[in-house]
Amino acid sequence: MRFTSLAPLLLCLAIAPLARAADAPAIDNAPGPLLRDGSLPLIPAPAHVQRTQGAGFTLTASTPLSAQGDAARRVAAQFSALLARSGGPTLVPSVGKAAGGVRFVLESVTTNGRHPPGTGRHPSGTGRQPPDAPAAATATEGYTLEVGPSGISVRAATEAGLFYGAATLAQLATGGSDGHIPAVRIEDAPRFSWRGLMLDSARHFQSLDEIKQVLDAMAAHKLNTFHWHLTDDQGWRMEIKRYPKLTEVGSCRIPAGDGGRDPATGAPRPYCGFYTQQQIRDVIAYAAALHIQVIPEIDVPGHATAAIAAYPELGVLDTPLQPLSEWGVFPNLFNTEESTFTFLENVLEEVIALFPSTYVHVGGDEAVKDQWIASARVQQRMRELGASDEMQMQSHLIKRLETFLEQHDRRLIGWDEILEGGLPPQATVMSWRGTEGGLKAASEGHDVVMSPVTDMYMDYLQTSSPNEPPGRPLLTTLARTYAFEPVPATLAADKQHHILGLQANMFTEHTRSYARLQHNLFPRLAAVAETGWSPVQQRDFRDFLARLPAQLQRYRAWGLAYAQTPFEVAVAHQDDRRAGSVQVSLANPLGYEVRYRTDGQPVTAASPLYQAPLQARVPVTVHAAAFFNGQPLAAAPSVAAFTAQSLLTRRDDELLTCPGPGQLLLRLEDDGPADGPRAVFNVNIFNPCWRWTDADLTGIGTLKVRAGRIPYYFQLAHDEPQRRFEAATRAHGEMKIRRGDCSGPAMAEVALPASVGADGFVTLEATLPKQTTGKGDLCISFTGDTRPAMWVLDEVTLAR
């Protein structure tokens, strides 16, 4: 579920993308936007679109807006607000019918005796049919939208369906359409009933306003489930009145390094935050108005450090704990005493009283059993309960909580580890370690939500751009997210209805700010929304890319700080330093057209179209931008300046890791300053060694390395043996320079200092042997234990 037991993560890094179901949408080998015939600038794509006769309708500020009945009037008001927020005119709802305008109609049967299209089961638990079933007689989220020269009507059998019709209409009238909407009839309903986003508020905390902005964006994308991760090792974020120390103690931690100290006094600077029960009610009510259910997660038996810090009697060991300022997998588990089970039931009782959702998430993931194995008391308790091993002990706890939830008219859902040791028949599985757990659970008759780490984790980097914020190593591109198919091809047809849908997961170890959160979620959440809503036959990645620029325009109108990196131009180069020349290659990660200039003038849609690598003498500066229909997609052009000096320098993000066992590349943030921007480094935390491929050392006598120190803030459980470092021979270690495969004797080394400069960095200079010449891989590493702090490389420069 996180960076986790690293075994599944390392496997993900080593293998090709998981195979898709046979009916999953194909991703073109050379993706680029291509609008399909009849396609409309809508995300997600509707189930059925029929172009009709007539000139369409132009929506303006004077267009009448009418609705009858309280529910329809609520939707009309929401439509008016969303339309204005998306860059359209402000419409004033009127009472009664108005000719020549927009009408919202809530009715059980539409005109011409036709029912609005239906869908499968809603997450609240009523009714079920296969994900691609035909229209049902009673729709829960479907709608019909008709546009003609005389006006627009939106009809649905439920308020939720009418709301989604309003969201579609708001898209049709914005995103560059200038309010002109073609004559069309749309019959629409979602493929899946669970279209979710999980947000981790335990590692980094979001304000109520930020949570509500996320909910607004979810609703506009027709997502309907907000899974709220409220407890973890790093923080307990939900007020529990019966146990006040959960927030008094468990909601604060001291960040590692400079970020945990007051810059003026040096005193500890805690990172705190929790939601009161009234604030939680406020979020739930806000979400309900947007037809989003809120699913709480209280994690057991692992990810429990913050709770045990608050109430030590809940833990296995006698050692006092504090909420952690580290990331990874931790050994601290709830103990197995009856009093601890009672504590968890008491907590769930308050959770149930707050959250009206049918489901309560109990985690169940990454519970490293070492403490249970070593505890004589836990082993005795297992014998008392008839548990033959630790997995059965966890299963006993899960079954106990499942029974408690059923007694309170709730259903248990947990990560796919809850399958191990046996699962209660009514439990629902959220499959994160790939899709295999979901396939197994559905085959056994359990409901499943697919959220595999390989495709649905929004905290993984989405491009290889150096402008990506800190994040985890697997590259989860927009194309990969879009290609994910939730229903495995090998799942029997009579079990496919158990796949309730899919969910994107946003863990926040590296997401310190709301700006980063928005960057990570968008536009990938648009791809998740389309997979959850649209029929398989309507999903086409190139068509999606052609519709996406209109959605970006709406994002800008909302003030949403979506990721710029997928819309930038990636710049790669090969240089001949001695000849003073460079070959520059340009590409947009999504295949949009690229235009460029080398004369310092602004890049426009009329600038030269990039078609082949550029050959140039240095100095030269390349400006480049991606365009669609004549409009630039990124906020600013990409700029790459090449000089004789720049050819002698490489940043850490331009270097590769060193070959050999032990690879876990992370994009890590510095620990300081306490506030404001921080440096970001690419580093293999299992083997911190950097490699400049084909470095030409002819005429080079000195290597200058700008390096810094950051806390080693990871606990890796059973993956810890993969952490490697070279033993130091000096008091504070050495920087070593090697050539070739990075494993031979050092050609140069420099003693490391006891501390770095006031800015957190130091420049180290290594003198190379006089006979050094020619091209070859250049390896830079630091000796000494990576704990409690590790060296990181910021920049390396060759000097004569």
How far apart (Å, rounded) are the C-alpha atoms in residues 700 and 799? Answer: 6
**Chain position carrying tokens 């003073």:** 580
- Give whole-number Cα distances, 591 to 28, 287, 727, in Å: 10, 36, 46
Q: Strand, helix or coil at 384?
A: helix
User: Beta-carbon neighbour count of residue 455 at 10 Å?
Assistant: 30
| Residue whose C-alpha is closest to residue 681's, from 695, 693, 697, 665 | 665
H-state helical runs in 55-158: 70-85
How far apart (Å, rounded) are the C-alpha atoms in residues 22 and 487? Answer: 10
Which two structure tokens, joined as six digits, stand for 185? Answer: 């009839």
DSSP string, 739-770: ETTS-S--SEEEEPPSS--TTSEEEEEEEPPT
Length of the chain: 800
| Residue whose C-alpha is closest to residue 466's, from 244, 682, 165 | 682
Query: How big is the CA angle at 555 (ends 550 and 561), to the nearest 5 degrees?
Result: 135
| Residue whose C-alpha is closest to residue 503's, from 195, 52, 108, 185 | 195
User: Beta-carbon neighbour count of residue 49 at 10 Å?
Assistant: 18
Work out the burial of residue 728: count CB atoms within 10 Å of its CB; fewer than 13 is exposed, 13-18 middle, 19 or more buried. Answer: middle
Give CA 509 to chain center in angstroms: 11
| Cis amide prior to 301 (ω within 30 degrees) | yes
* Active-site residue, from 141, 146, 297, 366: 366
Q: Strand, helix or coil at 547?
A: helix
How far apart (Å, rounded) are the C-alpha atoms in residues 47 and 118? Answer: 11
User: Beta-carbon neighbour count of residue 127 at 10 Å?
Assistant: 14
Q: Is 366 a catalytic residue?
A: yes
Q: Strand, helix or coil at 268?
A: strand
Is 34:67 a contact under the CB 8 Å cutoff?
no
How far apart (Å, rounded) are the C-alpha atoms in residues 69 and 305? Answer: 50
Q: Strand, helix or coil at 777?
A: strand
| Residue whose C-alpha is closest to residue 553's, from 160, 46, 43, 201 | 43
**DSSP label at 460?**
B
Three-state secondary structure string covering 277-309: HHHHHHHHHHHHHCCCEEEEEEEECCCCHHHHH
- Give whole-number Cα distances, 743 to 167, 762, 780, in Å: 58, 25, 11
Largest CA distance in the chain: 90
Q: What proportions of the chain, in percent to the nearest 5, are helix, strand and coil?
A: 25, 25, 45
Work out the burial of residue 76: count CB atoms within 10 Å of its CB; fewer than 13 is exposed, 13-18 middle, 19 or more buried. Answer: buried
Which residues neighbour 536 within 8 Å (Cβ) at sequence distance 6 or greater? Answer: 23, 24, 25, 132, 191, 485
How far apart (Å, rounded) are the C-alpha atoms in residues 316 and 84? Answer: 55
β-bridge pairing 581-587 and 593-597: unpaired
Q: Which residues are catalytic?
A: 366
